[in-house]
Amino acid sequence: MEEYVHPSDKEHMTNIIESCIKTGNENWQDECRFRCADGTYKEVFDRGFILYNENNKPYRMIGAMTDLTEKKILERKLAEQQSKQLRIMAEVTIQAQEKEKNQLGKELHDNINQILATIKMFLGMAKAKENIPLDLVEQSYEYVNIAMEETRKLAHSLVAPSLGDIGLKEALEELVGNANMISGMHVQLYFDENYYEKKLDENKELMFYRIMQEQMNNIIEHAQATEVTITFKTVNKNIGLSVTDNGVGFDSTQNKKGIGLKNIASRVELYSGSLNIISALGKGCTLEVCIPC
């Protein structure tokens, strides 16, 4: 037997059998690499049964081997795939964080910073005059209100909502209401009669909220849509979300996803869900998400 065991495994296997004999045990088992007739090695699960005589001396050993080669190959492939998937998810997460930082910087620079610069200019003009013109004060006051409102919107988009207090349904209704007011689109939100919000834990509720937030941003920025329909439904033990717009659409067969859709996909995959995107040029887009309750 020692002649056929791989040199790197030989000492280990010999020690197991010798230890078994010294303690009088009858059974042993372990994995090793065993040489075949063609000189190649296979990974096997080896087990033996030691027979002892009346003087408790071993005189024979019988056993069997199970070829684990294919199983080991599949295990290694699976481990590689899992490692690759984790790297992809980490990359998508980092890209999403970078996107959020870029959007934050753009909002601060292009919007809020411009408003504050105007206020500073007006106050400088007022400071240079003995009699401060009332219209400069009023205009500065108005711009301060605008800057405060823009800051509030920016903070609201970055900070996770407290869904535990108001629930996913109310949070989404607020999100849809803001979209209707700001974007000029007609956005409708439906929950079917079977929808039972308390089946979801807080993390899954937040996931759905972020997906909705991301998709609404995608539609506002790229779709040129006028109508958006959002539907939540419960099917068996799954929660389904559907977001349909009548925008310009895109060729989904090209399999090119922007960072927004990649971010949505990574969130869905985290909860063992499914994501389906139906779109064509000039025919709008439908995003379907389904996750276990």
Residue pointed to by tokens 């803001």: 178
Residue 139 domain flag: yes
Q: Higher model confidence: residue 12 or residue 158?
A: 12
Distance from first CA to last CA of the chain, Å, rounded? 54
Could you report the per-residue pLDDT of 28-80, keeping only the tens digit for each?
999 999 999 999 999 999 999 999 998 889 999 999 999 998 988 898 899 88
Instruction: Report the alpha-carbon distance of residue 119 to residue 145 in Å, rounded.
Output: 11
Contact partners, residue 243, CB within 8 Å, separation at least 6: 212, 215, 216, 219, 228, 229, 230, 286, 287
Q: Are residues 57 and 106 in the same domain?
A: no
Structural domain total, the chain: 3
Which CATH number is 273's domain given?
Answer: 3.30.565.10
- At 255, phi and psi to the nearest 5? 55, 35
Q: Higher model confidence: residue 199 or residue 32?
A: 32
Instruction: Tell whether the torsion through CA atoms of 248, 249, 253 and 255 is positive or negative.
Output: positive
Residue 175 domain flag: yes
**Domain boundary residue among 130, 159, 188?**
159
Could you report the per-residue pLDDT of 95-117, keeping only the tens digit for each?
666 666 666 766 666 677 777 77
Could you report the per-residue pLDDT of 156-191, keeping only the tens digit for each?
555 555 555 567 888 888 888 888 877 788 999 998
Residue 77 domain flag: no
Domain coverage including residue 256: 165-293
Residue 25 domain flag: yes
Which CATH number is 56's domain given?
Answer: 3.30.450.20
For residue 227, the cross-strand partners are 186
Q: Are residues 148 and 49 in the same domain?
A: no
Residue 205 domain flag: yes
Residue 260 domain flag: yes
Q: Are residues 178 and 248 in the same domain?
A: yes
Q: 269 with 276: CB under 8 angstroms?
A: no
**pTM of the full predicted structure?**
0.51
DSSP label at residue 219: I
Q: Which two tokens stand for residue 20?
A: 């078994």
